[in-house]
Amino acid sequence: MSDIRRQHDDHPEIIGTRTGLFGADGAGDTSGYGRLVQQVELGGTTAPPFGGYFDELLDTLRSALARHDVNPDAAIEGAQVHVGELTVFVARDCLPIVAGIARDEPDLRFELCRGVSGVHYPDDPGRELHAVYPLQSITHNRVVRLEVCAPDADPHIPSICRVYPTNDWHERETYDFFGIIFDGHHSLARIEMPDDWEGHPQRKDYPLGGVPVEYKGTTVAPPDRRRSYH
């Protein structure tokens, strides 16, 4: 494991800068972190060899894609090893076939998908929305993540419920909170918020505080809209 941990990328991709705890411009910040300046970074990609079973996994996946007449270089956009974990970046149109191979290929056998998590990077033009799928092989006792991106202007990612049926409600939740549209889902509807709710509450551009809170007749504004203390 120590060899794997050394193979991370030392030069992450910087996509923006946030100021204050909430990243809000022109508003009061009662957190005490109003002067906090923090870079927004992505992990970047890692150059092979990765170490451990990661190289074998990628080689097996690429070979299986070629056998299915899919260009591996087009389907797999890169990979990252960080803190001993492998993430494979997949072109969104190729996600269903990559997931199917990961499940069915005997040397892979990732039988379990533990859901899908959405991430919103508004400072990452053309790939603002990320969907992350943690897979687990019970047969081989291995784990891997698949990650795909989509732009805000075209928030469509293919559903993989036909490959992993248990992703049904996970895709609905990610749609509900991030606005990612999973094409091919049999019933893509909100699962947490009311059906008539406007917006997607876990996006970075969603107003902090959401519904105004009343306390003894006084409305408490969201945290990024309160006055600052000097």
Q: Is 128 helix (H, G, I), strand (E, B) or coil?
A: coil
- pLDDT for residue 151 is more than 80: yes
**Which residues does residue 135 pair with via DSSP β-bridges, in sequence order?**
113, 144
Q: Tell whether the model's pLDDT for residue 179 goes beyond 80.
A: yes
State the Cα–Cα distance between residues 207 and 223, nearest whole angstrom: 10
pLDDT digits (tens, 9 = 90+) for 132-148: 999 999 999 999 999 99
| pLDDT tens column, 182-203 | 999 999 999 999 888 888 989 9
d(CA 174, CA 100): 21
With beta carbons less than 8 A apart as the criterion, state whether 163 and 139 touch.
no
Per-residue pLDDT, averaged over 79-86, amounts to: 90
Q: How far apart are CA 129 and CA 153, in angstroms?
A: 10
pLDDT, position 210:
47
Per-residue pLDDT, 3: 35
| 147, 153 contact by CB (below 8 A) | no
Least confident of 78-82, 112-116, 171-175, 181-185: 78-82
Where do the domains of the chain lie, and which CATH numbers do they carry? 2-11+45-224 (3.30.460.80)
